[in-house]
Amino acid sequence: MASDRPLLISSPETPRAVEDLPTIPIYTDLAKSGSENPKLASAMDSHNPLGNSANTEPTLNSYFQRSNSSIKSRASRGNSVREVSFDNSGSKPPRHGSRGAESDGFSMSQRELSDEDARLIYINDPGKSNERYEFAGNTIRTGKYSVLTFLPRNLFEQFHRLAYIYFLVIAILNQLPQLAVFGRTASVLPLAFVLLVTAIKDAYEDWRRHRSDRVENNRTALVLGDEGFHEKEWKNIRVGEIIKISANDTLPCDIVLLSTSDPTGVAYVQTINLDGESNLKTRYARQETISRMSQNERMSGLIKSEKPNRNIYGFQANMEIDGKRLSLGPSNIVLRGCEIKNTAWAIGVAVYCGRETKAMLNSSGAPSKRSRLESHMNTETIYLSGFLVSLCTIVSVLAAVWLRRHRHELDYLPFYRRKSYVDEGDPKNYKYYGWGWEIVFTFLMSVIVFQIMIPISLYISMELVRIGQAYFMIQDNKLYDEASHSRFQCRALNINEDLGQVKYVFSDKTGTLTENKMEFQCASIWGVDYSGGTTCIPGDGFSAQVDGQVWRPKMKVKVDPELERLSKIGKQTEEGKHIHDFFLALAACNTIVPMVVETPDPDVRLIDYQGESPDEQALVYAAAAYGFMLLERTSGHIVIDIHGERQRFDVLGLHEFDSDRKRMSVILGCPDNTVKVFVKGADTSMFSVIDKFSNMNIIRATEGHLHNFSSLGLRTLVVGMRDLNSSEFDQWKLAFENASTALIGRAALLRKIASRIENNLTVLGASGIEDKLQQGVPEAIESLRMAGIKVWLLTGDKQETAISIGYSSKLLTGNMTQIIISNKSKESCKKSLEDAIVSSNKLMTQSGVAQNTEGTSGTAGTPVALIIDGTSLVYILDGELEEQLFQLARGCSVVLCCRVAPLQKAGIVALIKKRTEDMTLAIGDGANDVSMIQMADVGIGISGQEGRQAVMASDFAMGQFRFLVPLLLVHGHWNYQRMGYMILYNFYRNAVLVFVLFWYILYTCYTATSAISDWSSVLYSVVYTSVPTIVVAILDKDLSSRTLLKHPPLYGSGQREECYNQKLFWITMVDTVWQSAVIFFVPLLAYWRSTIDGPGIGDLWTLGVVISVNIHLAMDVMRWTWITHAAIWGSIVATVICIFIIDAIPTLPTYWAIFNMMGTGLFWLCLLGIIVGTVLPRFVVKVLYQYFFPSDIQIAREAEKFGHSRESGGGRRGGIIEMNPILEPQQRLSR
């Protein structure tokens, strides 16, 4: 059975596998100073710079953070394009780098630690730690409610919807005797039902959270007590306690490591539960604490740490033990939710517990967003409210006139008797409050009668429909990623329909369009390009002999035969020396952890290089392929097999990558008694620290090779080095010690020290790594473009890389004219934008004239691609030039933004959101995409190689970029079409009943009475008509997924808002007035001279309304299923049964009314007349409109059903369905 284990030496005193390796005689004061600063592996003694070796293993306090500064690129196709470049040289460019997740999304760890921001933790003394400071306990609570707070808090949250407050006021008014129209109980039931259903749903979700919390809190861990370690429930763990974690256990809280099973204090952790990354990370205990714990001493000390914050990649603290002050960093803390791997045990002190842990602080969901359709619906709701007020005003005014005209008859009118003659003497007024108050009461009573004009059931119907839509999106196999075995995630249920109206897609590149799986392709070493072209062949793979076994890298890399031959020469020649140093830098300057994996062959082992950065993995695998195989890594040294000779290098210091420097460096003590610093980073940061006076020819050659690599779409890194003498190392060591223990300004000091040592470098060369496009990306972008969606690429890559990716992904085409803006001052940016706008307009005008001359009808000009860099955006997004950029970009077919920072990505999205009504979508996979995802109307996270930060901040998550096509073109189209129709239908069905009640009031002396029974009024929106609209909104399909994918322009119906707009709303209201008049007047005229009572004709009206609105819905159903049949026809049957039950209750005024009515033929004749009168006109208009003015959807439906083209205009010609043009907003309005 295969197993993984770290390639570490068993003990620093007995190296075993490396006992015969050459070692560097380190400086004599290392033994005494190593414990004072375990981040150093050696120190210098100016009196004895080269002493004997000391067996001391230091702790490497490294800051593990993803290196995402590498230049990201992709292979370019050989297209010939016209290019308009606006590249003006100006003043010195400003600093515009992004700190990504470290600067904005996370707060504390990237700032400096001060006394006000710190808290004191007494090691192994939780009582004292919690005596002065109110630290959180380790109990977690993700539930929102408790038994006592559920009812008030849940009701408070639900009544944030103004419609609920409206219905609450209506229910309260109906409780007043003067305004009682319906029964007091019946008037409360609709609102109570909606509140109850939502409360049950919220209670169930919260119960599940509480159950999960209970399981989590009752787990146990080993905690140090008076008699050693004993089990303790997680919820009882306190800050300051010492905890022991075994292999494969999950951490109960955030701990600072004190000791591990490894003598060097290293521990391997997996953070997949925290950020989704499965690669192992290394964390370290300080040497001072390792020795104390190994001697079983009662350890005590003080930790001064930063306050709790969300930055999972940062940590600042100091630890005082025995009067010594030690610095602590991100590599010394292990967070709650992480698992210990390949380490027998680890011991640490709890520093953050419960809700203060970084995992809990990051557990907040995606920001709440509101769908565009729901926002438009609120406008129509205001219109309906105005309608409601108008109807009530009409009724109250007519009532006032009627009361004035009949004021002398009010005393004895039987239906409006004003005087009560029960008492002897002068009669008193009976339920009459005077002419003025009667008008007011009539208005309020009318509001109560017409209350369902605002459909309260619509809100809960929308929630249920969105849940159903999300279920089908999640279950769609076209959105299932087989590589990662992940399904589509719907993290925000309230914007499903927005997927059908997207106009702009803003995409990241690395990990979004590309796989983020790097393959080393070529290198430039000492001015020589070893790309090799077609001579690169898959190598057999370099192997090393270790303890009688053959160890090979797990992944094979293509090698250049010439470079492989030269790498074997060693340092015998000048050329061989540079190649040796280059690959040594690739193998050593990283944070990769080598893991050995067993194979079926007991004599063969595979080395799996684990690391947080795919770039570093690719470089280490490349170094191994050329004979520089990294075998072991401890906290203080590394072992590299160099062409069969194992050599040990002491890691004397490490400066991890950060977004300011954009590079990392390692200080190595080499076997030849030299100390060297190796540096690698982005070209923009490396060439500023290269010694340009000693090797200008090499620098120029390397720059040219970098340009070539980028043009081929390769990610590039520059590698440099220099030797350190004893004086330089001594100065660095002293400064590093002071900076590491500084209380204020530590991060800035460490960056400054790193910059001092990372200078005057000798350039060794550059590497080229290929990041392949994901499967189906070019086809997906082409489909999106055909659907009228503009795709913008926002990347941190250099310009050549962005252009190359543009061609390979079909974002750029050969017939596009490129406008390039790259400036270094505000004035040059302004001039470039002005010139670019003129050029763009000129191109479009010339193309339009040419098209008109040729007799074509298209309005589109020559496609223009805008390419702009981050330096220019610094000035443009400052405010004054934003409008000019918008005017230029909106006319371009494609926009590529290169070298952009995370906040600039969000700024580009905001540029479009603020100036257009178009729907925006942002898609990315990394922490640097979070701000862009949250800014866009729809945010999609790719669950890829860069953790789960983007997924956690997104509205939807999926595995591949190509899934965007079925998500938008199929599910987005369906969701928008269904939801738009459901909203209109809900307005329609309620308005029909309201107008029927309005007609009735006009014939009852404006007394605001209702012919519909109280219970039928309550059940109308709940039982009679609610289920069919929900079922249709979940299951109905106007077109099949195959047709929608085959004809992307069909997506334009959502962009043109064809399914829901104000025109459709007013047409629906007009149809509502007609249908309500038919339903009311047909029975009224039929029974005009009869003796039928109000409840009897009220039941007939109820049945007429329910049957009409359900047949109306059935006419619009486009794809029937047995569920649809059961819902629509079952609702009519359910209505009849409910009326039977209501009329069979003797205590109700409607007793036996329906049975008396149904016994006559006139009843059935009236029902038939109602159906024909309401449905037939709509049917005729619909047929005529679809025949003479067919929409794209109608044409596609006919083509899908009949399989042939329509011979008349508007059909298909030559097998191609003619689509309506997708217009810009201005063109849409002009129409």
User: 3-state secondary structure string, 651-716?
Assistant: EEEEECCCCCCCEEEEEEECCCCCEEEEEEECHHHHCCCECCCCCHHHHHHHHHHHHHHHHCCEEE
Q: Which string of DSSP letters, residue by residue, matches 1106-1155?
A: HHHHHHHHHHH--S--HHHHHHHHHHHHHHHHHHHHHHT-TTSTTTTHHH
Q: Exposed e or buried b for every residue in 1191-1212, given b needs 16+ CB within 10 A?
A: bbbebbbbbbeeeebbeeebeb
Residue in 446, 428, 462, 424 with CA at minimum distance from that of residue 197:
462
Interhelix angle 1062-1086/372-405, rounded to 10 degrees, is 40
Residue 111 · residue 119 · CB < 8 Å: no
Among the listed residues 262, 275, 508, 1192, the single catalytic one is 508
H/E stretch holding 763: strand 762-773
Q: How far is 187 from 449, CA to CA, in rounded Å?
A: 10
Q: Which residues contact 479 (CB under 8 A, 6 or more apart)?
A: 473, 487, 488, 958, 963, 966, 967
Measuring CA to CA, which residue among 554, 549, 550, 578 is closest to residue 566?
A: 578
Instruction: Tell me the backbone φ, ψ of residue 1065, rounded to 5 degrees.
Output: -60, -45
Q: Is 1109 exposed, middle or buried (0-12, 13-18, 19+ CB in 10 A)?
A: buried
CA 1166/CA 91 separation, integer angstroms: 85
Q: Do residues 778 and 514 make contact, with C-beta atoms less than 8 angstroms apart?
A: no
Taking CA atoms, 686 is separated from 691, 711, 760, 993, in Å, by 10, 20, 10, 74
Instruction: Report yes or no: 570 and 643 within 8 Å, Cβ to Cβ.
Output: yes
Residues 130, 240 contacting (CB under 8 angstroms): yes
For residues 1156 and 1158, give the distance between their C-alpha atoms in angstroms, rounded to a whole number. 6
Contact present, 597 and 554 (Cβ < 8 Å): yes
Active site residue 1038: no
Question: How far apart (Å, rounded) are the C-alpha atoms in residues 30 and 46?
Answer: 12
Taking CA 1189 as the corner, what is the angle to CA 1185 and CA 1191, rounded to the nearest 5 degrees? 105
787 in Cβ contact with 1051 (< 8 Å): yes
Closest to 517 (Cα-Cα) out of 305, 749, 772: 772
Cα(first)–Cα(last) distance of the chain, in Å? 71
Token pair in block for residue 208: 């599940």
Phi/psi of residue 510, nearest 5 degrees: -65, 120
Report how far residue 1059's alpha carbon sits from residue 975's, in angstroms, rounded to the nearest whole number. Answer: 11
Residues 6+ apart with CB under 8 A from 931: 104, 105, 902, 903, 905, 906
The pair of structure tokens assigned to 286 is 């300080």
Maximum distance among all alpha carbons in the chain? 132
d(CA 864, CA 844): 9
**Structure letter (DSSP) for residue 267:** E
Among the listed residues 470, 462, 574, the one whose alpha carbon sits nearest the alpha carbon of residue 528 = 574
CA distances from 1081 to 75, 991, 993, 1012, 1171 (A): 73, 16, 13, 15, 13
In contact, 707 and 670? CB cutoff 8 Å = no
Helix, strand, coil shares of the chain, percent, nearest 5, are 45, 20, 35
* 1067 SS3 class: helix
- Catalytic residue annotation: 508
